[in-house]
Amino acid sequence: MGADMKKEILRFENLTLGYERHPAVHHLDFSVRRNAMVAVAGPNGAGKSTLLKGIIRTIKPMGGSIRLCGIKQREIAYLPQRTSLDTTFPITVFDMVAMGMWQAAGAFGCFDRQRNARVMQALQRVGLAGMEHRPIGSLSGGQAQRALFARLLLQDASLILLDEPFNAIDSASVRDLLGLIHTWREEDKTILVVLHDLDLIRSAFSETILLARELVAGGATDKVLSAYNLSQAQHLCERFESQSLLCERG
């Protein structure tokens, strides 16, 4: 393995992802270094969520490849957008968080005292101590997101993917969960976070990937999120949208 490969954890090689033969990400060439904390930015429809789904193999590449460097697929943790959380499901906060250890315990594994303690420690770390017996449907938006982060803690993954983790939650939860993300980086984890809030990206993320169904720019945030690059990204997404409408009408 070369020196560059040792520094990388993820590499996209001429990657194209899409749905029903309609590409959503085109010919992406980029690599993510180990221990990086990277924001994934771009207009609506830019392919940001699609990229994360490709990494976890929910969707398969239409072309090119996604290469994991030095880690296995099971070492990836993924947090989808909050809209995918069914808060009507009759489960307690403790049980939902404990699902983060399913790989170690097995689908029907028993939880011993040590595993129970780990769940309680994770809840305390995200500020939910004392709420372990509450049904998840009783939690506020910020509390529910804290519980999901606690579940991620228990997965102990090397690569963490977060899709819009701060949408519609209170500012205190944003602050605390962002602090947890920074702690993960200090623990030698690599984090990719899809975000729309450019001010938040500029203040908290030193590296950014700017997508518009293709790579507009990647690297240092202050350079990537330039006025020119943001204008180019918007123009590309609008062009792709117009082409898609023409194809549908044709």
Q: Which residues of 224-241 are buried (b: 16+ CB within 10 A; e: fewer)?
A: bbeeebbeebbebbeebe
Q: What is the pLDDT of residues 107-140, one digit of tens each?
A: 445 566 888 999 999 999 999 999 999 999 999 9
Between the alpha carbon of residue 40 and those of residues 123, 185, 218, 219, 225, the distances in Å are: 27, 16, 9, 11, 11
Which domains does the chain show, CATH number per domain? 3-71+158-249 (3.40.50.300), 85-156 (no CATH)
Does the predicted TM-score (pTM) go above 0.85? yes
Q: What is the pLDDT of residues 202-249, one digit of tens each?
A: 999 999 999 999 999 999 999 999 999 999 999 999 887 766 543 343
